[in-house]
Amino acid sequence: MSNEQQPVKMWSGRFREPLDAEFEQWQRSIVFDWLLLEQEVAASKAHASALLSAGILSECETTELRAALDAIGADQASDAGKAVVRNHPSAEDIHHFVELSLVERIGSVGLKLHTGRSRNEQIATDLRLYVRGQIEFVIQSLAAWARALVEKARAAGDAVMPSYTHLQRAEPVLVAHWLLAYVEMLLRDAGRLRDCAARLNYCPLGSGAVAGATLALDRTIAARELGFTAPTANSIDATSDRDFILEYLQALTVVGLHLSRFAEEITLFATAEFGFVTLPEAFSTGSSAMPQKKNPDLTELIRAKVGRIHGAAEAVTLQLKGLPLAYNKDMQETQEPAFSVEFVAPMLALIARFTAALQFNRERMSAAAESGYLNAMAAATYLVHKGVPFRTAHEKIGNAVRFAIEKGAELGELSLDELRQFGEEFAEDFYASVTITATLDCHDVIGGTAREQVRKALADASARIDALVALAQEAVHAGA
């Protein structure tokens, strides 16, 4: 160990009075930014490489520093090690902890690592690495849920259900078509997160405290080692930018909204009033008072979680509002909201397993889809093919529906004479045009619920999910 002493604080030279003890504990971020140890180790190793290139560190010192950093990361990988970091008695933050640990291991060489570097750029880099990694976890989890939805859709085959507008039965659709609607949402979610990852993927190292490093560092060295696209273009922006945290949380809010919509529909469909789905017992709970109950706790909790995600995004919005350039201590408060949403990827994994275990009550769904005049649109289309203007056809079928309601019959149960009181265009071929299969297949457009279109959509969705997974794997390898 060198005779040189590590300062009590990383900034203590200018001060003569000690910090107020309560304030000192209150302002420390190690209690939450210990989560960034892996990122701090990686960024510090990359900075050592840049210092070697600049001639500040020797080959021997660089090797010693990088080995010590690896050892610090390995030692703190266990739960016990994480507790050591989190409960360190004197470290202000994760940067201070790593520096103290380095000096303890290798002496004054550890003090050299901060040459040409500021904590402002360190935290900006660590957070980008952290958010980038979390995005990949979430994208992989989105892909897993999308796969579960596709497999459930494929297994549903030609099973039908009502679609809804205004929560009123509208038209029959394939169950697969309904499930694929959520796949589209998840693929958009993944795209938003991928865009966020691309925008944040620039390396702040070398930005210094605000004006740039005071050494002639080759910033591309650290950027390349950490898997960034390039160095950031402006040191003021690099050290004060937290857009990527806000964008990440906003993108997760949309993920949460889609989870919540699915959870709401399943919660409704599982009621006795709907009876469309049977809840998997492995993901349900009972009542302590009512022996007959099976409660949709998973979907109810998922429905509620979007509030936590959105709350995190709102917190960061208000933290950044009106901040002058560049770094301000306020930015420390953006970290906990970013860390608070780590539950999203595991929650997506849960909903994927839940989806795979979900059972549809096909007969109940089919009965609901084949009653209540859900073929009225197909009936109006029949008249259009007979040359009737759509507005006129709409009126005629509306009158026929009112007549059928009063009679207590479905459209296809009305006699030809009864139908012809609403228009001479009705003929025997009308009955074939309002069957459930004809009603489905008249929506024979890209994105429609016609059976052949849905088969094509299933194949397309599978291919897009495969491509998403491949991109995620490439991103993980690039950042490793």
Residues noted as catalytic: 166, 287
User: In a 3-state reduction of DSSP, which class is residue 319?
Assistant: helix
For residue 141, what is the DSSP state? H
| Contact criterion met (CB below 8 Å) for 139 and 169 | no
Residue corresponding to tokens 């990694």: 133
Give residues with Cβ within 8 angstroms of 55, minimum separation 6.
none
Residue corresponding to tokens 């604080």: 9
Residue corresponding to tokens 């989890």: 141
Q: Which two tokens stand for residue 383?
A: 């008249």
CA 257 and chain centroid, separation = 10
Distance in angstroms between the alpha carbons of the first and the last residue of the chain = 33
| Contact criterion met (CB below 8 Å) for 207 and 232 | yes
> Smallest Cα–Cα separation from 176: which of 397, 474, 459?
459
| Contact criterion met (CB below 8 Å) for 116 and 54 | yes
- State the sign of the Cα–Cα–Cα–Cα dihedral 378, 456, 452, 255: negative
> Smallest Cα–Cα separation from 249: which of 182, 342, 379?
342
User: In a 3-state reduction of DSSP, which class is residue 438?
Assistant: helix
Long-range contacts of 108-115 (CB under 8 A, 24+ apart): 108/2, 108/4, 109/2, 109/61, 109/64, 109/65, 110/65, 110/68, 111/4, 111/6, 112/51, 112/56, 112/57, 112/61, 112/65, 113/44, 113/47, 113/48, 113/51, 113/65, 114/10, 115/51, 115/56, 115/215
Task: Say how far apart CA 345 and CA 350 lie, in whole Å.
Answer: 9
Beta strands in 264-379 (DSSP E): 277-278, 359-360
CA 158 and chain centroid, separation = 31
